[in-house]
Structure 1
């Protein structure tokens, strides 16, 4: 009879499970033994729309006050609504893979910390 090693859970959330043997990140499972490192990335949103809208607002402001204010307010609103996306990047001996993303920075940092713990635990 072969004794099975017990699986140690480092992190568990709605769609994430990190153990010493596997990582399930958003529905995709990776073997912890294949991951050599993990990192976080921040993907900032593009701001072209907001800049163009604000410039149009400034130009229209010379003709009609309320039209200009509308475009400027639209630019400010869209600017405030766009958020940075935080990404978990896994590295293996073969390649790098963006495995999970979220708008919640603390969630992504918790996942990365758990993956680091699992890699260290694995030895």
Structure 2
């Protein structure tokens, strides 16, 4: 990963909007996400993985995911906890919308890396 002044120069992101079937499905989906996050917290290339509930939309969950680069995203997708979530989530959902994004510029927490001299 290339850095400049402690900040990552490139990133790969997703914005995912999940609409659950009903209130019970929303609760079960949230529990699945909570279990999955236990593994995601240990992924070094996953920089941000945040779940939001939009105001006045109790059945919707919006995920913002930021990875160090595309390779880090691929590594995330290959994890057992991610595969489990992808396999189980459909039973709770009415729809899914995914938007893949490449970082151009912005502000985010610095990451600590070591670079070769």
Identify the structure with the greater helix proportion: 1
Is TM-score (shorter-chain normalized) higher than 0.5? no
TM-score (norm 2): 0.25
- Structure number with the bigger relative contact order (C-alpha 8 A, sep ≥ 6) is 2
TM-score (norm 1): 0.24
Q: Computing the radius of gyration over CA atoms, which structure comes out larger, 1 or 2?
A: 1
